[in-house]
Amino acid sequence: MDKNTFTAQTKHSSSTPSRLPQSRKYIVCGYHDYLGVSQVLSSTLNSNNYLIGNKVKDFTAFNRVVVGDILLLSYGRKIVAYGEASSGLTALSSSDSNRPYYEYEIKVKRWIRFDGQNSSLGIRNGGIMKNCTFPQNIRAIAKEVTSHFAQPFIDKIDMRQPQ
């Protein structure tokens, strides 16, 4: 995907009027297992964003994210956190040398973690492909899922939060 095409799509999607909460989309997004992914996960959780790498090919679910949608962060086949999107998909500055392998991000208001101490702990996330809202590539790192599938993960994470 070239950045000119991306910019046009982003401008179009960001002009979408605000939606009512029941029309939120739920996107499970994760990082594939590779050397250094634990540092990326930690950085993501501390920076209130989700970074999208330069090798990602399928942007279908990412392009659909708008402010107010819910991202469920997956790592090691577990949901480890969720957050409300505070932006759609945006291109990173080419001068950002701290993140050389990442070209895009989606910002979140804050990540609500399953475990505040260990970012790799979470809830098993089986059944994603059966609960997608539209046909999606099995290899895609982001998949839009039904609220019925997403809500139990959110509830379980919320139950673990300090009162």
57: Cα separation from own chain's centroid: 15
Tens-digit pLDDT string for the chain (163 aa): 333 333 323 333 333 334 445 589 999 998 866 667 788 888 889 989 998 888 888 888 999 999 999 999 998 889 999 999 999 999 987 766 566 678 899 999 999 999 988 878 899 888 888 888 887 777 788 999 999 999 999 999 999 988 7
Number of domains observed in the structure of the chain? 1
Q: Give me the CATH number covering residue 107.
A: 3.10.590.10
DSSP state of 117: S
Question: Across the strands, what pairs with 49?
Answer: 107
Gap between the terminal Cα atoms of the chain: 44
Within 8 A by CB and 6+ apart from 148, the residues are: 131
Task: Give the pTM.
Answer: 0.80
pLDDT at site 35? 63
The Cα–Cα gap between 54 and 101 comes to 6
Domain holding 96, by residue range, is 3-159
